[in-house]
Amino acid sequence: MAATIHDVARLAGVAISTVSKVMSDSPRISALTKNRVREAMQQLNYHPSRHARGLARNCTETLGVLMPLRRNSAFQNPYVFEILCGIERHCASQHYSVMLLDAEALASKPKAVQQLVAERKVDGVILHADLHAPQLIRQFTALALPFVVIGRQPGHHSWVDVDNVHAGEIATAHLLAQGYQHLQFIGNHLHDTISADRLQGFLRALESQHLQPCAPPLYAQAGHYAEGLGLWARLQQLPMRPDAIVVAGNPLAAGVMAAAQADGIRIGYELGIVSFDEYPYAEQTQPPLSVVDIDLFALGEQAAREWFLQWNKPTHCSQSLLLDQRLLVRASSSR
Amino acid sequence: MAATIHDVARLAGVAISTVSKVMSDSPRISALTKNRVREAMQQLNYHPSRHARGLARNCTETLGVLMPLRRNSAFQNPYVFEILCGIERHCASQHYSVMLLDAEALASKPKAVQQLVAERKVDGVILHADLHAPQLIRQFTALALPFVVIGRQPGHHSWVDVDNVHAGEIATAHLLAQGYQHLQFIGNHLHDTISADRLQGFLRALESQHLQPCAPPLYAQAGHYAEGLGLWARLQQLPMRPDAIVVAGNPLAAGVMAAAQADGIRIGYELGIVSFDEYPYAEQTQPPLSVVDIDLFALGEQAAREWFLQWNKPTHCSQSLLLDQRLLVRASSSR
DNA sequence: TTGTACGCGTTATCAC
DNA sequence: GTGATAACGCGTACAA
């Protein structure tokens, strides 16, 4: 079997407590013995048992991530898995492990969360601001389990989110800089908070140039590609036709673009289009779509970073927006 | 803090060893005391500490899953995350947790695998048959860590895989049943084993009807949408033009279809097309694409099931193909 | 500066 | 049937 702390101690000719102190790099151990002990560890390929350590220190060095883990989740919602990758990356840098947890399972059985902390499976969790969130947040708070929410969420707790307002500004400012003048906004659907934020940024960017939107925003029902056709038709009926559009959703933008092209409009000349997110369509449309891209991997890293701040200082609480977004200029908006 | 076995014992008026026996449902404990103890557990909301249990039994009730966790992994490769969901589902049913592990990190640092088992982080792992696999498999075997590979992989160890040969048969048989007669195969690229398997099924299905392929298979370079145009042009130069095509990759199929339509070909009438996987394009093409769909979630579940068989009986070793595939007939192939 | 001894929460092996 | 008690491997006060 694997070597234990006793084996190391014996080989190095010291007591186990000395070995333990070397591991925590205690300043009261001579450099000489430290070296001897470390060499013994190397030789025996020693790694402390996480169970024993967890038992003694009452922590797990494991962070739970609540995810939607239904069938088709990865296809319908690759975003959260991209965030997951970022979380894992940062955790690994802190020698923490990531445990996958099914958000629905946890939310549907009220005792499940209690069990999670009673079994001491994780030191804390990261969750998404979805419909289960409010209930779960209440439970985590009650059980004093440190957590970070991905996505803005009311209440006194840490969250991180993408700054969609800023993204809207970036997109709009770019179109203006390209010389487009009559700008229109299209949202995914009326009650989509992401669309709302992007609209806000759109308006702010226009305002800063003392401009007005071409017409009130239009909205799709669900943000699907196919809806783009109908929206294009509605745009044609406006008193003042836009020469550029900021579309909140990438699939919707592809649809609008296709419909416009079917009418003989040259995208990127008569009509500029900017949308958001590289995925799923941006690079594959004809012409390629300009987008403001969001670094979800970085968002995951930041969520994890935030969690560790809180773990090390339980009173810590921060609510921060990720500003790191890059505009990818492609043919759909470059005259 | 959470209740311990001592608290339960005290409340039930028994010794801790009795409580432990009740947990393992020992037959030599009277039904009466069992009930008393169980009631106490309920009342105190007791759940055994996984660290203490792990220390005593030397197992972790955790399964590691090796994944590609780079930036953009979730977008480029949602398939493995779908499999991950299936793994988690089955593990949860066995009261096991899933730990996420970065395959690259593990493969790039030779000591990382040793550390994994020395720390007793996981009872075993599931990994994908990618380029790191051979090296990792060697290490896991040497360290006697139970593992299951997703994807066929030479050697004496358990793996599960999708039966791509069978999928190719299904696709081809469907086209023949629709009355198409001159069938052509297009692969993603020459050295893609998945394409090779699908081709084998294609040939087998033709053979069983005493038919020949229209021409030798064609191959793309990478399987991208854009390559479809060039392939369509090459098809036009064949001495005998196919009236139906089995395309190994879904994006490629969408490209070929678009190119054919640009030439005025009516898809589903003059030309039948069948491809594989629902994702990313199948339902969104014009017309919708017929595909043989693979249940990756089920594949994940089966991999986990396989792992538990091996965990419970270390000599167990099975190499099995998932047959569970369904043909989704859409307009691209239905006359 | 180093070593001893106990506690962490459980399982398993014995006695009774 | 039930109850002591010794592991399991590590952290840590306290003693030396």
Q: How far apart are the C-alpha atoms of A13 and B299, rounded to whole Å?
A: 51
A153, A136 contact by CB (below 8 A): no
Q: CATH number of the domain at A164-295+327-333, out of 3.40.718.10, 3.40.50.920, 3.30.420.40, 3.40.50.2300?
A: 3.40.50.2300
pLDDT digit string, tens, across residues A213-247 = 999 999 999 888 889 999 999 999 999 999 999 99
- The gap between A97 CA and D9 C1' (Å) is 20
Two structure tokens written together for A307 = 């969690």
Inspect the interface and report whether the beta carbons of B69 and A47 lie closer than 8 Å: no
Q: How far apart are the C-alpha atoms of A187 and A185, rounded to whole Å?
A: 7
A55 touches strand C (CB under 7 A): yes
A292, A173 contact by CB (below 8 A): no
The one-letter amino acid at A223: G
Chain B CB within 8 Å of residue A118 CB:
yes
Chain A CB within 8 Å of residue B105 CB:
yes
Q: Is the pLDDT of residue B1 over 70?
A: no
Q: Tell me the chain B residues in contact with residue A3 when contact means C-beta distances shorter than 8 Å.
A: 118
Mean pLDDT of A1-13: 89
Q: What is the DSSP pairing of strand A158-162 with strand A183-187?
A: unpaired
Q: Which of A251, A271, A247 is nearest to A261 (CA)?
A: A271
pTM of model > 0.85: yes
Mean per-residue pLDDT over chain B, rounded: 94
Q: Tell me the chain B residues in contact with residue A115 when contact means C-beta distances shorter than 8 Å.
A: 47
Q: Give the contacts of A89 (CB within 8 A, at least 6 positions apart).
A: A297, A300, A301, A304, B69, B102
Give φ, ψ of A10 to 5 degrees. Answer: -60, -50
Inspect the interface and report whether the beta carbons of B121 and A50 lie closer than 8 Å: yes
Q: Is the dihedral of CA B137, B139, B144, B146 positive or negative?
A: negative
Neighbour tally for A227: CB within 10 Å: 22
A85, B70 contact by CB (below 8 A): yes
- Which helix (H) or strand (E) segment is A236 a member of? helix A227-236
Q: How far apart are the C-alpha atoms of B68 and B72, rounded to whole Å?
A: 10
149-188 in chain A: CB under 8 A from chain B: none
Question: Helix, strand, or coil here: A240?
Answer: coil
Delimiting residues of CATH 1.10.260.40 domain(s) in chain B: 5-57
Q: Tell me the chain A residues in contact with residue B65 when contact means C-beta distances shorter than 8 Å.
A: 100
pLDDT at B110: 85
B32 touches strand C (CB under 7 A): no
B31 touches strand C (CB under 7 A): no
1-30 in chain A: CB under 8 A from chain B: 2-3
pLDDT digit string, tens, across residues B241-284 = 999 999 999 989 999 999 999 999 999 999 999 999 988 887 77
Q: Which residues are B22's β-sheet partners?
A: none
Q: Is the pLDDT of residue B121 over 90?
A: yes
The one-letter amino acid at A1: M
Mean pLDDT of B24-29: 90
CB under 7 Å from any atom of strand D: which residues?
Answer: A 1, 4-6, 16-17, 20-21, 23-24, 46, 48-49, 51-53, 55-57; B 13-18, 21, 26, 28-30, 32-33, 52, 55-56, 58
* CA–C1' nearest nucleotide, residue B28: D1
Chain A CB within 8 Å of residue B98 CB:
yes
State which residue of chain B sits closest to A52, comparing Cα positions.
B55
pLDDT at A110: 86
pLDDT digit string, tens, across residues B28-59 = 899 999 999 999 999 999 999 999 999 999 99
Q: How far apart are the C-alpha atoms of B221 and B201, rounded to whole Å?
A: 21
B18, B37 contact by CB (below 8 A): yes
Inspect the interface and report whether the beta carbons of B84 and A74 lie closer than 8 Å: yes
Q: Is the pLDDT of residue A1 over 70?
A: no
Q: Is the dihedral of CA B70, B72, B74, B79 positive or negative?
A: negative
Length of chain A: 335
Delimiting residues of CATH 3.40.50.2300 domain(s) in chain B: 62-162+296-324, 164-295+327-333
B52–chain A nearest CA distance, Å: 6
Mean per-residue pLDDT over chain A, rounded: 94
| Nucleotides on strand D lying under 7 Å from protein C-beta | 1-5, 7-13
State which residue of chain A sits closest to B72, comparing Cα positions.
A82
In CATH, A5-57 is 1.10.260.40: yes
Superfamily of domain A62-162+296-324: Response regulator (3.40.50.2300)
Of B54, B78, B225, the CB nearest to A51: B54
Mean pLDDT of B201-212: 97
Chain B CB within 8 Å of residue A115 CB:
yes
Mean pLDDT of B192-205: 95
Question: What is the interface size between A and B, counted as CB pairs within 8 Å?
Answer: 142
| Nucleotides on strand C lying under 7 Å from protein C-beta | 1-5, 7-13
B157–chain A nearest CA distance, Å: 22
Mean pLDDT of A278-292: 87
Chain A CB within 8 Å of residue B322 CB:
no
Q: Which residues are A159's β-sheet partners?
A: A149, A319
A28 touches strand C (CB under 7 A): yes
pLDDT at A321: 93
B117–chain A nearest CA distance, Å: 8
Two structure tokens written together for B22 = 């009740």
Of B47, B75, B86, the CB nearest to A279: B75
pLDDT at B25: 92
- Radius of gyration (C-alpha) of chain B in whole angstroms: 26
